[in-house]
Amino acid sequence: MQRLDIHLLYVEDDFLIRESTYKVLKRFVSRVSTASNGEEAFSLFSKDKPDVILTDISMPRIDGLALAKKIIETDQDVPIIINSAHSDAFYFLKAISTKVEGFLIKPIDFNLLYELLKKVTRELILKKEVQKQINRIKTLLDFLANMVIMTDGFKLYEVNKSFLEFTGYLSIEEFHQKYKKISDIFIQEKGYVYDLPDKTWVSVILNNSINQNRVKLYDSIQKEEKVFLLKYNKVLDDDVFIVSFTDITDLDRKTIRLEHTAFIDDLTKIYNRRKFDELFLEELQETEKSQSKLSLIMFDLDFFKNINDTYGHREGDIVLQKLTKEVGYRIRQSDVFARWGGEEFMILLKNTGINGAYHLAEKIRKFVEKIKFNFDKKVTISLGITEYRQEDTIEAMVERADEALYRAKENGRNRTENF
């Protein structure tokens, strides 16, 4: 078993459990810190900044869920694993609403915990790699030959040779014969700087952090789009800025690939839970703003454990891969499809009410029954659906979808229920 290079904070109020588990955890990870209650744990977290938190729920002073919420309010990227003797739906749903990484029932299944820690470690490594690339480019920028302009955000006052060569013009005057303002050459694409209806691009970069100030331009010589990082300085007291453009096209592409990897489930190649939460929040905000419809489908495989036990985990993985591939073919490009955890999946349906969600859920359910796998046993799924309600939250919608899924299971499985 490979030792994982992470710092884990383990929180458990029972001395004997804490000490015995600590000995096992030391074999799993390079560094383990322990705390006997939530208050002590938060103090250690604030001081040492561990990579992962593993915490019990029932503890004096601050319980595990309250600790998780407090930590997430401080740093929402810290993975938190809940470990509890409580196995009922209340605590599980509370853990989901707190956005923890995992929920383990006592006594700890150390094999399951290790797999969860491996997954968390992979995500941490990818994040660190993305940040490392960003930090590296910041160090290199000052040594690159950049395009440089002097502008008030509209008119160009001075430009260097690199800018003229890139844009294909001989002078500022010639440039302004075609373009009224510099931002006319900015490609308007999400994630990049350009003029907005209520603010200029200069206002945008002044309010952004440095690594958000990226602009996309068309290279008239190489006939392709290029991405540049903008650096700026104000010229004395005038409303004029010196702006440099550093070509980060290759880094931008690599960063996008790394971010893509960090948000894609390794097995099924669809979004993971972290990315789903991010996109869900965006869609919820857009739905509130536009007063449009939004629905959620939550489904999982019926008796999936039996498949693993009977045919092996490799065959179970093949089932998940084939199922997600086939389901992916049957939803719209605008729908958000993600692996929620284990054999549970989510589909977020934009501009879709409960009737449309039910129709799609039934279509998927009936199709899954017909998928042929490497064994004779039929695979089925149960689905729970819900629709956005005024002032809804992610937690509320997920809780209703989960309750609907629970009803589908209780009512015989291989069916769709709504809540």
Beta pairing class for 416-418 and 224-234: unpaired
Query: Residue 175: pLDDT above 80?
Result: yes
- pTM for the model stands at 0.47
Q: What pLDDT shows up at residue 26? A: 94
Distances (CA, A) of 223 to 1, 161, 175, 340, 381: 51, 19, 18, 42, 49
How far is the C-alpha of 12 from the C-alpha of 333, rounded, in Å? 45
Whether 408 contacts 415, CB under 8 Å: yes
Give the tens place of pLDDT for each residue, 163-173.
Answer: 888 999 999 99
Architecture of domain 4-139: 3-Layer(aba) Sandwich (3.40)
- DSSP 8-state symbol, 2: P
* Alpha helix positions (H), 29-109: 38-48, 64-74, 89-97
pLDDT tens figures, 238-254: 788 989 998 888 887 78
What fold, for 144-255?
A: Beta-Lactamase (3.30.450)
- What does the domain layout of the chain look like in residue ranges? 4-139, 144-255, 263-418
Residue the block writes with tokens 């322990």: 34
Residue closest to 392 by CA, chosen among 364, 342, 354: 354
Q: Is the peptide bond before 107 cis (omega within 30 degrees of 0)?
A: yes
The three-class DSSP label of residue 155 is: coil
| pLDDT: which is higher, 101 or 328 | 328
The residue to which tokens 């309600």 are assigned: 389
CATH for the stretch 263-418: 3.30.70.270
